[in-house]
Amino acid sequence: MWHTGLVDFDQVYERFRLPVWRLARRLTKSEEEALDTTQEIFLRVWRGLPGFRGDAKLSTWVFQIAWNYLRAHRRKMGRSLQIIGEDMNAAQDLVESAADTGPDPERRARATELLDRVEEALETLPEHYRVVVWLRDGEDLSYQEIADALDVPIGTVRSRLARARVALKELVES
């Protein structure tokens, strides 16, 4: 084993491969770019892991690395991060199963439409709103974890999340 820190890399990768991938995919333009950025994020995790002393939660630390890298990547690419909207079918199924308990085509259609709109609205949401919404609602991080990961006060997370949700709602309804 190369690393002698508190946590082995393979454990971290196993636990965070999906969340990091999801965040990268939400914040980058294409699946290929998300793949590249996710790999680079895990390279940074790999390098930083020997120095990880558990002062922060592992999830916070990983998301902090991911967010910092994705922001830097955006700056390097000279544009705002965007998200992509693919693989909708699986998501639609999930929403339908959550929102619809019966074979009501109309309800299924509404659920699918809502998901489409949310996906589109997320795309147009400013990045600093998108990331808090995603970390809270997509990754189920606590306010404190989000604050640590983004390096902002927890009050900022609360207010930013509220504004983001209002903006998202307005976009969905528009």
Partner 1 sequence: MDETLSEILSRHLDGDLDADEELALSARLEAEPALIEELEVMRRIRRSVAALASSEQVPRELDSLVEPLLRGKPEPVVLRPWARWLATAAAVILGATVVIEVNRRNPGPSIESMAKLRNEGHPAEPTERFTLAPLPTSSLPVEQQPLGASDRLLASPAPEVELDDPLPLEVLGPLEEGEIPTLEDQGTKGIPLDEVMAKSSAVAEDKDAKKGESLRPAAPGEKGDLDSAPQREDRGGTREAGRSAALQSWEAAPPMGRAQLFVFINGKSAWREFTPSAICKAGRYSVRIVVTGGAVREARPVGGAASAAPSQRLCAAGLVLDLEIDAVADGEYPAEIVVEPRGKQQSPGR
Q: Residues 123, 127, 143, 156: which binds partner 1 (CB under 8 A)? A: 143
The verdict on 39 binding partner 1 (CB under 8 A) reads: yes
Q: Report CA dihedral (161, 167, 168, 169) to the nearest 10 degrees.
A: 110
Give the N- to C-terminal CA distance of the chain in Å, as an integer. Answer: 53
The verdict on 106 binding partner 1 (CB under 8 A) reads: no
Q: Residues 80, 104, 153, 169: which binds partner 1 (CB under 8 A)? A: 169
| Alpha helix positions (H), 28-126 | 31-48, 58-77, 88-99, 105-124
> Sign (positive/negative) of CA torsion 26, 30, 32, 36?
negative
CB–CB of 157/129 below 8 Å? no
Angle among Cα 38, 7, 53 to the nearest 5 degrees reads 100
Size of the site for partner 1 (CB under 8 A): 69
Q: Smaller CB distance to partner 1: residue 80 or 87?
A: 87
From CA 157, how far away is CA 63, in angstroms rounded? 15
Going residue by residue from 65 to 104, which x/- string records binding to partner 1, judged by CB under 8 A? x--x----x--x----------xx-xxxxxx--xx-----
Q: How far is the CB of 72 from partner 1 (least distance, A)?
A: 9
Contacts of 165 (CB under 8 A, 6+ apart): 133
Q: Smaller CB distance to partner 1: residue 77 or 80?
A: 77
Q: Smaller CB distance to partner 1: residue 105 or 169?
A: 169
Name the site residues for partner 1 (rule: CB under 8 A): 1-2, 9-10, 13, 17-18, 21-22, 25, 31-32, 35-36, 38-40, 42-44, 46-48, 50-53, 55, 61, 64-65, 68, 73, 76, 87-88, 90-95, 98-99, 114-115, 118-119, 122, 133-134, 136-140, 143, 151, 158-159, 161-163, 165-166, 168-169, 172-173
